[in-house]
C-alpha cells in the first residue's frame, strides 16, 4: 500500500481508471490527451487533475527522438521504407521531417507527433502519430494519414464534452480550415538561434509594421551585436540589421509583437500603380512562355475585364498545380513552378504574378505567417506568403495555395485574406544598404545571415498566443 497523499492519490487514480476511460482532448497544434470528466464525482476529477500535475512533463526533444526511433526501426525492417496502409494500398515512404512545432504532451505518458513522409513518386504525406510510454521506450498506438501534398483528408473539431473528433473536410466550417473572419488578436514570437560564427557576420531580419489591416506593437526585442534599422526604397520595409562576431555564437534573437489584424478584402488603391508591378523580377519573369500560358488560360475571356481574367489565371493555377514541398521548392521561382507544377506558397504566387503581369494585370507579393485558427497558442509551421492583383481600381487579395488545399474556400481566397495572419514584409528583390553579398534579397521572412560573406542558416521558429476571449 503506497503511503502519503501522493500514494493515496495514485491508488485512487488506478481504481478510477479501472472504471473510466480518458478522452482525447486538444493540446498542441491539432489535439492532445488529458482526463475528461465522464460523469464521475468531483473528488475523482480533482484526483485526475492532481495526478496530471505530478506526472513529469516529457521534453519535446524526447518525443522527437521517440517518433524518429520508431520510424527508423520500422524502416530497417522493411527494406528501407516506412510502410503505411491507406484504404487501397500500402504506401512505401521515406522520412522527410518531423514537425517539431506540432509535437505535444497529451497527458501522462501519452504524446502526439506529426511527420512528413514522401513516396517514390515524390508525393508527401502528413501522418499523425499517437504514442505512449516513457522516454526511450515509446510505442506508437495509432497512425493516421492526415494530408497528401498539403491537402487534408480530415480536420479536427472540439465538441461539447471537450473531446476532439475527426471531421471530413467537406463538412468542416471555415474556422476549422484556417480562417478567422473579421478580426484577430494575438502575440507573435519570432525566435532565432545563431550558429557558430567564426568570423565577421551580418544578419537581416524583417520587422512587422502597422498598416490599414494590422496594428503591430513591438513588445520586446532582444538581439545580439551592433544593431540598426534599415528601410528599402522600393517597398519601405523595416529591416533589422545586425553586425556580429564570434562572441555571438549560439546567442538568441527574440522579437515579440502584439498584433491586431483585420480580415482583408478588395481595397481602393491609394497611389498610382507602380510600373514595378508589371515588370520582371529575378525569379518571376514576364512574357515569353508566361504570356502564352496566360493567354491560353484566359481563353475566351480575353475581351472581358481584368478581374475576370485574373480569376481565370487563379483557377488555372489551382487546377494545374499540386502543393508539394519537394525538389527545389521554396524560392518562389516561376520557372520551377511552371516546369514542375508543384511547390509551396512561394511557387503558387510567383507563378500567378508572372502570368498576371504578362497580360498587363499588376500584381505584387507579400510574406509573413499564417496563425492557426483551431487553437490559441503553440508553434507555427514556418512562413506563409500571398499575393494581390490590381483590377477595377482596387487591389484584390488572393491566397492560391490555400485555395488549392481547401476547395471549399477557393472562392473565399479570391479577394480575401483572413484575419489570422501577420505580414512581415512586401516585395521581391529587396535592395538595402548595407545589403547581402549575394545581392538583392529574394523575399524576407526568415532571417538572412552571412558569415564571411557566405550564407548561413540560423534555427528559426515562429509561435503565438491568441488573446483570451
* Residue 156: predicted pLDDT: 75
Residue 1 vs residues 29, 313, 396: alpha-carbon distances, Å = 40, 72, 70
Rounded CA gap, 391 and 312, in Å? 13
* Residue 58: predicted pLDDT: 84
- Which domains, from first to last, does the chain contain? 60-151 (3.10.450), 183-262+448-466 (2.60.40.2250), 267-426 (3.10.620.30)
**DSSP secondary structure letter of residue 370:** E
Rounded CA gap, 377 and 463, in Å? 7
* Residue 270: predicted pLDDT: 83
Rounded CA gap, 311 and 45, in Å? 55
Q: CB-hemisphere CA count at 13 Å for 67? A: 31
Q: Cβ(29)–Cβ(111) under 8 Å?
A: no
- Could you tell me whether strands 322-323 and 342-343 are parallel, antiparallel, or unpaired per DSSP bridges? parallel
Q: Cβ(96)–Cβ(147) under 8 Å?
A: no
Residue 252: how many other CB atoms lie within 10 Å: 14
| CB contact set of 307 (below 8 Å; sequence gap of 6+) | 391, 392, 396
Rounded CA gap, 98 and 357, in Å? 38
Per-residue HEC secondary structure of 406-437 comes to: CHHHCCCCECCECCCEEEEEECCCECCCCCCC
C-alpha cell at 115: 511527420
Q: Cβ(30)–Cβ(178) under 8 Å?
A: no
* Residue 17: predicted pLDDT: 35
Give the predicted TM-score (pTM) of the model. 0.79
| CB contact set of 215 (below 8 Å; sequence gap of 6+) | 259, 260, 261
Whether the upstream peptide bond of residue 416 has omega within 30° of 0, thus cis, is no
Nearest to 206 by CA among 465, 451, 442, 453: 442
Per-residue pLDDT of the chain (469 residues; tens, 9 = 90+): 344 434 433 333 333 333 333 333 333 333 333 333 334 444 444 444 444 454 567 888 899 999 999 999 999 999 999 999 887 889 999 888 888 878 888 878 888 888 888 887 778 888 999 899 988 888 999 888 988 877 788 887 766 665 567 888 877 777 778 899 999 999 999 999 999 999 999 999 999 999 999 999 999 999 999 999 999 999 999 999 999 999 999 999 999 999 999 999 999 998 899 999 999 999 999 999 999 999 999 999 999 999 999 999 999 999 999 998 888 899 999 999 999 999 999 999 999 999 999 999 999 999 999 999 988 899 999 999 999 999 999 999 999 999 998 888 899 999 999 999 999 999 999 999 999 999 999 999 999 999 999 999 999 999 999 987 6
In DSSP notation, 374-385 reads S-SEEEE-S-EE
Burial (0-12, 13-18, 19+ Cβ within 10 Å), 261:
buried
> Grid cell 504532451 — which residue?
105
Adjacent-strand bridge partners of 92 = 83
* Residue 18: predicted pLDDT: 36
Query: In 233-391, which ranges are continuous DSSP H helix?
Result: 289-298, 306-320, 334-340, 345-358
- Backbone phi, psi, residue 48, to 5°: -60, -45
Residue 278 vs residues 180, 286, 306, 360: alpha-carbon distances, Å = 32, 8, 14, 6
Amino acid at each position: 500500500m503506497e503511503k502519503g497523499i501522493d500514494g493515496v492519490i495514485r491508488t485512487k487514480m488506478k481504481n478510477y481508471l479501472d472504471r473510466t476511460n480518458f478522452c482525447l482532448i486538444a493540446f498542441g497544434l491539432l489535439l492532445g490527451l488529458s482526463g475528461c470528466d465522464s460523469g464521475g464525482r468531483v473528488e475523482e476529477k480533482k484526483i485526475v487533475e492532481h495526478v496530471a500535475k505530478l506526472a513529469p512533463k516529457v521534453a519535446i526533444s524526447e518525443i522527437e527522438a521517440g517518433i524518429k526511433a520508431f520510424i527508423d526501426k520500422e524502416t530497417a525492417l522493411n527494406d528501407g521504407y516506412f510502410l503505411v496502409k491507406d484504404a487501397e494500398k500500402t504506401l512505401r515512404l521515406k522520412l522527410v521531417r518531423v514537425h517539431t512545432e506540432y509535437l505535444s504532451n497529451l497527458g501522462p505518458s501519452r504524446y502526439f507527433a506529426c511527420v512528413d513522409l514522401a513516396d517514390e513518386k515524390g508525393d508527401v504525406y502528413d501522418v499523425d502519430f499517437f504514442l505512449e510510454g516513457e522516454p526511450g521506450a515509446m510505442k506508437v498506438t495509432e497512425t493516421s494519414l492526415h494530408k497528401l501534398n498539403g491537402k487534408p483528408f480530415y480536420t479536427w473539431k472540439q465538441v461539447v464534452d471537450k473531446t476532439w473528433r475527426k471531421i471530413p473536410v467537406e463538412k468542416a466550417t471555415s474556422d476549422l480550415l484556417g480562417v478567422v473572419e473579421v478580426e484577430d488578436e494575438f502575440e507573435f514570437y519570432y525566435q532565432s538561434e545563431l550558429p557558430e560564427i567564426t568570423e565577421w557576420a551580418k544578419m537581416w531580419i524583417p520587422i512587422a509594421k502597422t498598416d490599414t489591416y494590422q496594428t503591430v506593437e513591438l513588445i520586446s526585442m532582444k538581439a545580439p551585436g551592433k544593431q540598426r534599422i534599415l528601410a528599402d526604397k522600393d517597398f519601405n520595409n523595416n529591416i533589422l540589421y545586425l553586425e556580429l562576431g564570434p562572441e555571438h555564437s549560439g546567442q538568441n534573437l527574440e522579437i515579440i509583437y502584439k498584433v491586431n489584424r483585420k480580415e482583408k478584402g478588395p481595397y481602393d488603391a491609394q497611389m498610382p500603380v507602380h510600373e514595378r508591378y508589371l515588370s520582371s523580377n529575378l525569379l518571376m519573369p514576364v512574357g515569353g512562355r508566361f504570356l502564352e500560358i496566360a493567354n491560353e488560360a484566359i481563353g475566351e475571356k480575353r475581351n472581358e475585364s481584368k478581374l475576370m481574367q485574373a480569376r481565370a489565371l487563379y483557377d488555372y493555377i489551382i487546377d494545374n498545380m499540386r502543393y508539394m514541398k519537394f525538389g527545389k521548392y521554396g524560392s518562389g521561382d516561376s520557372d520551377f513552378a511552371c516546369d514542375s507544377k508543384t511547390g509551396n506558397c512561394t511557387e503558387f504566387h510567383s507563378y500567378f504574378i508572372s502570368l498576371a503581369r504578362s497580360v498587363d494585370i499588376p500584381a505584387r507579393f507579400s510574406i509573413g505567417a499564417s496563425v492557426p485558427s483551431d487553437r490559441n497558442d503553440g508553434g507555427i509551421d514556418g512562413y506563409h506568403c500571398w499575393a494581390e492583383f490590381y483590377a477595377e481600381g482596387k487591389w484584390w487579395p488572393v491566397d492560391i495555395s490555400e485555395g488549392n488545399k481547401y476547395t471549399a474556400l477557393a472562392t473565399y481566397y479570391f479577394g480575401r485574406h483572413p484575419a489570422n495572419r501577420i505580414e512581415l514584409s512586401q516585395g521581391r528583390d529587396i535592395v538595402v544598404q548595407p545589403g547581402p553579398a549575394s545581392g538583392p534579397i529574394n523575399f524576407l521572412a526568415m532571417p538572412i545571415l552571412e558569415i564571411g560573406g557566405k550564407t548561413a542558416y540560423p534555427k528559426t521558429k515562429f509561435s503565438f498566443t491568441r488573446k483570451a476571449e
